[in-house]
Amino acid sequence: MEGIDPTQKGPDVALYASPETGPAWSKVGDRTPRIVQDEEAQNLRKGLQQRHTQMIAIAGAIGTGLFLGLGSAIQEGGPLGALLGYGLIGLVVCAVQIALGEVSALMPVTGSFVRHVEILVDPALGFAIGWNVVYGCFMSVPSEISAAVVLIQYWTDLNAAIWITILIVLSAVVSLLFIRVYGELEFAFAILKILLIIGIILMGLVIDLGGVSGTPRLGFHYWKDPGPFVEYIASGSWGRFLGFWAVMTNAVYSFSGVESLTMAAAEMENARQNIPRACKRVFARVTIFYFIAVLIVGMIVPSNDPRLGDESGTATQSPFVIAAADAGIKVVPSIINAVVLTSAWSSSNQSILAGTRTLYGLALKGHAPGIFLRTTKNGVPYMCAALQIAVSCLAYLACSNGAYTVFNWLLDLTAAGVLVSWGTIALNHIRLMNGFKAQGLPESEMPWHNWWSIYSSYFALIMCVIVLLTGGFPVFTTGSWDASYFVSSYLDIPLVLAFYFGYKFYRKTKLVSAYEMPLEQALHESRNDPDNVPIRSSKWSRWNILWG
């Protein structure tokens, strides 16, 4: 530290300096700051174990999109169109997970890809993406609370404000408790979701094969009549292609949440080993669940069933409930509604975690007020949580129709944020690989690396850009203009660009050169991390198909 001015201007200092404590210098060189800063290493607590890490990823990817959203996918694309659409987005998710895992295992920081983009691409982009994620996550919490209230009102007519208050209080308690509590909750929610998925898949097979008394064997009948594809907007081959493409956006938001896996990387035990383990195993399990679920739905409900267009927000719009009702199985709606309710609360908790940790990471870099660095003795950033709780009160707007319309517009502003985040993750990985090549460093020293992952990251980045630009294509067809749909599809793009160029103009930031990325420092920290030891597999883990 001697002879160095911590307030000195320059790209290195600006990138890694903590706004309150100044730069955390490393042992590699006087001008090489630490990647994982002392602030987060000392003030946050490692409360997430291996089983929490893997189940959080499963819980994040399995939600209302699977239980309630498959109906609209079948209606727009047909059984084969929906299967292909979810399959293609599944490949994108695979590429994103691998990119996220490789970068996060090397740099397990709070805020994950938001911090990575600042180190590997441009501090201005880190600022723009970071605040976009914070806004999206913070707005998602009152949205999920509102959705949960709709699910609760499936059983009761009590005033919505009562349930909103209860859910806000519960969310506040979870956000302020030790992160281990959050991990245990998500662990339990994930098991409930998996049990329900297995149950409804088996139920769907029984119905399809004629195992319910009084129902005929269906087989692939609905693939023949009304057919494997649906003509959407246009007719003929073009209409069938548009139907398949319309499924893509639905699939993206069904998978949204997988990117939050590493948001609390600094609070994970042995993050450099657990993150790759979770990314490798979770993707296969989640993709199999979605693939089988889409296949079964296409077999038991025809794509022209008008009930698939139900937007009640309760279990009645689930294609599994529709099939069960036709088969005379009456208990299914309440079961699905109950688990979907836990999914809504789980999604709310995940948004709280992602939003508060991203805000904490922004504060670490000086992109947010230093007050957000304050933590409890248990390592919880309570000022970040307090802001999140305050924003959650927007859920009360759901009690008024007019106010709820305004709330939906606020929510729509970052509806495309999932694709922006996925594209950023792929870009981070591409830049990291370019940096290793430029500096002549061996990629084999990374905690986790696959030789082909650079190609999958290019695939993911290109696909994210294409889907982002074409996701709202129906509004440009004759007679289909919808202002709300246009806003949700595209307004996030100019918002991110405005934040990026505004910060770049104000701070005069520059793109990070591949030769100046602190990769030697990252490798140094990885090699000298006392927690970075191989995970020992037990006999139980060989049989544990969920988190072993």
Count Cβ atoms below 10 Å from residue 481 Cβ, excluding itself: 11
CB under 8 Å to 505, separation ≥6 — which residues?
A: none
Determine if residue 507 is left, alpha or beta; phi over 0 gives left, psi from -120 to 50 gives alpha, anything else beta.
alpha
Q: Could you tell me the domains of the chain?
A: 45-508 (1.20.1740.10)
* φ, ψ for residue 480, nearest 5 deg: -115, 15
Measured at the CA of 69, the angle between CA 63 and CA 72, to 5 degrees, comes to 170
Amino acid at 79: P
Q: Output the CA torsion sign for 154, 157, 163, 164.
A: positive
Q: Pick from 314, 380, 389, 383: which is nearest to 348 by CA?
A: 389
Q: What is the pLDDT of residue 371?
A: 94
Residues in the chain: 548
Q: With a cut of 50, which residues of the chain have pLDDT below it?
A: 1-31
Q: Pick from 424, 373, 386: which is nearest to 37 by CA?
A: 373
Count Cβ atoms below 10 Å from residue 184 Cβ, excluding itself: 17
3-state secondary structure at position 268? strand
What does the alpha-carbon distance between residue 494 and residue 391 come to, in Å, rounded to a whole number?
Answer: 23
Q: Are residues 206 and 285 in contact, defined by beta-carbon separation less than 8 angstroms?
A: no
Q: How far is CA 289 from CA 195, 226, 275, in A?
A: 11, 25, 21
Q: What pTM value is reported for the model? A: 0.89
What does the alpha-carbon distance between residue 97 and residue 511 come to, in Å, rounded to a whole number?
Answer: 25
Q: How far is CA 88 from CA 38, 58, 96, 287, 418, in A?
A: 41, 19, 13, 11, 16
Q: What is the pLDDT of residue 27?
A: 44
CB under 8 Å to 426, separation ≥6 — which residues?
A: 95, 96, 99, 457, 458, 460, 461, 464
Q: Are residues 253 and 85 in contact, defined by beta-carbon separation less than 8 angstroms?
A: no
Give 108's DSSP letter.
-
| Helix spans in 441-491 (H) | 453-470, 483-490
Q: What is the pLDDT of residue 548?
A: 55
Q: What is the pLDDT of residue 298?
A: 92
